[in-house]
């Protein structure tokens, strides 16, 4: 399969919350939708993203509770890609920045997220990560 652009591999089903949403709400959303990333947006657009790891490291490990606003856990102004960027740009951006998920922005709004798993599913479908990423949820 020849994959040329980020648009070809990105996930378009997005979960968005406001910066004042609680991390408890975000964790429940992640569980319900079986996702590991939630975008954080305000009236001006997307301001950040929060991952399941962010919740563990920035909230739980610091002794903060489920009522903590998600803005305390999110990565502000994350590195972004455009849907027409080459897939290689996604791989290189992840490598250089040591990140696993990147919002995809077009005309100032988020239209998708590309993850390490998305890339593995396409470029290394028989790898462990590729197979895990393609598997149905087991919850």
**Ordered domains of the chain (ranges, CATH):** 6-132 (3.10.580.10)
pLDDT tens digits for range 32-71:
998 899 999 887 777 799 999 999 999 999 999 999 999 9
This prediction has a pTM of 0.79
What confidence score (pLDDT) does residue 92 get? 93
Matching residue, tokens 């020849």:
2
Decide if 129 contacts 27 (C-beta within 8 A).
Answer: no
Task: List C-alpha distances in Å: 11 to 8, 20, 113.
Answer: 9, 25, 5
Asked whether the beta carbons of 101 and 28 are under 8 A apart, the reply is: no
Give 124's pLDDT tier (boundaries 50, 70, 90).
Answer: low
- Do 74 and 40 touch, CB atoms closer than 8 A? yes
Half-sphere exposure of 36 (CA within 13 A, CB side): 14
pLDDT in tens, 64-101: 999 999 999 999 989 999 999 999 999 999 999 999 99
């Amino acid at each position: 399969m020849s994959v040329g652009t980020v648009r070809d591999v990105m996930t378009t089903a997005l979960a968005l919350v406001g910066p004042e949403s609680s991390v408890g709400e975000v964790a429940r959303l992640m569980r319900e939708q079986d996702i590991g990333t939630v975008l954080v947006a305000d009236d001006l657009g997307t301001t950040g993203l929060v991952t399941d790891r962010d919740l563990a490291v920035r909230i739980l490990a610091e002794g903060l509770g489920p009522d903590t606003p998600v803005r305390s856990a999110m990565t502000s102004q994350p590195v972004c890609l455009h849907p027409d960027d080459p897939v290689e740009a996604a791989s290189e951006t992840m490598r250089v920045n040591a990140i696993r998920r990147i919002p995809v922005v077009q005309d100032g709004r988020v239209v998708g997220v590309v993850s390490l798993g998305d890339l593995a599913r396409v470029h290394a479908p028989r790898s462990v990560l590729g197979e895990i990423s393609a598997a149905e949820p087991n919850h």
